[in-house]
């Protein structure tokens, strides 16, 4: 039995597949003897045919955007120029098959990059096809999330956001990583995909490929070779609690429950799950793999996809939170020694104000064309001046309800002053904990510090809630704390007026709120504010709320 931190609820069992490591550059100093060159050339030809065939059969089984992407890759793999140019390198220069494909792809990539715009973005497709062909030649696994037709548990040292996004619609049933913390984006995406996940599992990458494991995202355990009865019991316990679409306390006080989404598909799923709106639309998730900034028209289309899922409902759109563990190539090109403390979130606008203005314009255009009630907010605000600048840009773009996220202790302490400028705030408790405890949210070793039950975090939330009450403004929570059924009533008692979470958590949070009155929530809040440790805070809340 291996242990880590359960970061996405539920349990699943299947055989282990490892995330394949990136392919190293094939050596350039090997010269193939003239007599062996033809067999290298046939290796290229066979590999290209095999890749094109595989992509063809996967295209047939895919739909929507995935189908278009696969088909574009299939066309590239079938391109006779790629094979003939690589073969010429083998025949004339004695390059190995793998090296010849690598060099040919590099030339194509450079030509595309020189064309700029959307053509330049095809460079990533070339690299993908190159890696597929080389992996076929070398008879190794294609890098990244493996393609499988059978259910599997993905085991990795860590996952990049793009890897995790590639899991959508595939056969992966659970995730296990050696690194990562509870609020890492891997954990967030795992929750939104509804995949049980355990992170920070020391020794995970030592589990043999093909071994059956039972991943329990609630307990944070990974059991190798579990008994069939355990597999059965774990599956029965992992059932999602349904949500009827209205969040309220036992005394009838309404407490809207919103969803966190990263794009149109998430938004549709959130609407089906009964979410009352969107409390956090992480717009950067739409553009994670883009080398160049999306155009205003592309942004309008992406935002409309989310707004359309919630007509007449509130949708809180966050401007790009680029940087730190979600670098966007077009926004964060510079190296930073401390990216979590660097130019991330709203700070990117210091360097590229046009990027923010374009996004605000795109959002205003999308809002005009859809019926959702659109709110906009900025991530990573630390000062009143930043909030003022953001609010004036957003209002100038035609967006009327403007807010900010409270993710830094500085913003929490200035909540009263910030409420003079903005219409609402939303607590990003993931970052608020990271910055309050000075603990990297990606480090599993520091998971106990990245805990919203830490009294210092609870007191800051309480200060923001109190400032909101004074002026009668909304205080949301959209960090992972919002989806914790034990914490939700406490947050409400601290002055929080709405909660936003992964849609799978809606039912459990609604059930927890429905058991408590406003008075009980306030009593629990008063109790946790006296706690000196996270454990004491949990115990104080459960003594009042009885959970
Ligand atoms: C947060 O920090 O709590 C938050 C909601 O933003 P993100 O997790 O995207 O940084
Ligand atoms: Mg954040």
Task: Determine the Cα–Cα distance for residues 22 and 160; give it in Å rounded to an integer.
Answer: 12
Using DSSP's 3-state secondary structure scheme, residue 191 falls into helix
Using DSSP's 3-state secondary structure scheme, residue 411 falls into helix
Testing ligand 1's pocket by substitution, the residue of 319, 342, 430 carrying the most ligand atoms inside 8 A of its CB is: 430
Whether 345 lines ligand 1, by a CB cut-off of 6 Å, is no
**Active-site residue, 172 included:** no
Q: Per CATH, is 34-138 categorized as 1.10.274.10?
A: yes
Q: Which CATH architecture has domain 2-17+146-237?
A: 3-Layer(bba) Sandwich (3.50)
Helix extents (H) in 414-454: 415-419, 429-436
Whether 462 lines ligand 1, by a CB cut-off of 6 Å, is no
Residues of the chain with confidence (pLDDT) below 70: 62-66, 69, 117-118, 120-121, 160-165, 182-183, 185, 235-239, 444, 547
pLDDT score of 3: 85
pLDDT score of 446: 84
Mean pLDDT of the chain: 91
Range(s) of the chain covered by CATH 1.10.274.10: 34-138
pLDDT score of 121: 64
Whether 479 lines ligand 1, by a CB cut-off of 6 Å, is yes
Give tens-digit pLDDT for 82-115: 999 999 999 999 999 999 999 999 999 888 878 7
pLDDT score of 236: 64
Range(s) of the chain covered by CATH 3.50.30.10: 2-17+146-237
**Active-site residue, 232 included:** no
Give tens-digit pLDDT for 178-208: 887 766 767 777 877 788 999 889 899 999 9
Please report the DSSP string for 38-94 in residue order: HHHHHHHHHHHHHHHHHHHHHHHH--HHHHHHHHHHHHHHT-HHHHHHHHHHHHHH-
pLDDT score of 414: 98
Strands 152-156 and 172-177: parallel
Ligand 1: nearest atom to the Cα of 284 = 9
């Amino acid at each position: 039995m291996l242990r880590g931190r359960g970061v996405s609820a539920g349990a699943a069992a299947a055989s282990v597949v490892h995330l394949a490591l990136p392919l190293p550059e094939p050596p350039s100093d090997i010269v193939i003897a003239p007599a062996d060159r033809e067999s290298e050339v046939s290796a290229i030809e066979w590999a290209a045919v095999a890749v094109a065939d595989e992509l063809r059969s996967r295209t047939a089984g895919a739909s929507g955007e995935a189908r278009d992407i696969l088909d574009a890759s299939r066309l590239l793999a079938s391109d006779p120029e790629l094979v003939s140019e690589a073969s010429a390198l083998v025949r004339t220069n004695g390059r190995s098959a793998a090296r010849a494909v690598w060099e040919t792809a590099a030339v194509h990539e450079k030509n595309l990059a020189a064309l700029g715009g959307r053509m330049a973005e095809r460079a990533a497709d070339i690299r993908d096809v190159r890696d597929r062909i080389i992996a076929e030649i070398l008879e190794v696994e294609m890098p990244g999330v493996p393609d499988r037709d059978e259910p599997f548990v993905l085991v990795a040292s860590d996952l990049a956001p793009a890897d995790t996004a590639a899991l959508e619609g595939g056969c992966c049933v659970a995730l296990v990583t050696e690194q990562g913390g509870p609020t890492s984006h891997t954990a967030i995406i795992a929750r939104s995909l509804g995949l049980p996940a355990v992170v920070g599992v020391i020794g995970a990458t030592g589990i043999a490929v093909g071994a059956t494991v039972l991943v329990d995202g609630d307990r944070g355990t990974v059991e190798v070779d579990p008994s069939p009865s355990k597999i059965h019991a774990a599956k029965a316990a992992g059932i999602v609690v349904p949500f009827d679409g209205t969040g309220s306390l036992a005394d009838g006080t309404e407490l809207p429950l919103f969803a966190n989404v990263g794009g149109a598909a998430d938004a549709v799923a959130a609407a089906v799950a009964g979410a009352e709106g969107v409390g956090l639309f992480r717009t950067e998730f739409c553009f994670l793999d883009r080398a160049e900034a999306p155009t205003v028209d592309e942004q309008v289309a992406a935002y409309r996809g989310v707004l359309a899922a919630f007509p007449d409902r509130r949708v809180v759109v966050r401007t790009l939170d680029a940087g730190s563990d979600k670098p966007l190539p077009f926004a964060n090109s510079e190296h930073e020694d401390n990216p979590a403390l660097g130019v991330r979130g709203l700070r990117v606008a210091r360097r590229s104000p046009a990027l923010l203005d374009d996004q605000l314009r795109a959002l205003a255009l999308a809002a005009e064309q859809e019926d959702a009630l659109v709110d906009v907010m900025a991530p990573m605000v630390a000062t009143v001046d930043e909030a003022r600048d953001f609010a004036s840009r957003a209002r100038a773009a035609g967006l009327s309800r403007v807010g900010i996220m409270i993710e830094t202790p500085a913003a929490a302490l200035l909540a009263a002053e910030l409420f003079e400028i903005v219409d609402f705030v939303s607590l990003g408790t993931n970052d608020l904990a990271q910055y309050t405890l000075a603990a990297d949210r990606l480090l599993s070793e520091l998971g106990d510090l990245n805990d919203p039950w830490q009294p210092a975090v609870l007191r800051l939330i309480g200060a923001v809630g109190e400032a909101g009450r004074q002026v009668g403004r909304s205080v949301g929570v959209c960090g992972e704390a919002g989806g914790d059924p034990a914490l939700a009533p406490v947050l409400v008692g601290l002055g929080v007026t709405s909660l936003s979470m992964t849609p799978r958590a809606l039912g459990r949070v609604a059930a927890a709120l429905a058991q408590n009155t406003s008075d009980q929530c306030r009593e629990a809040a008063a109790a946790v504010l006296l706690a000196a440790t996270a454990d004491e805070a949990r115990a104080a809340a459960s003594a009042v709320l009885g959970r």
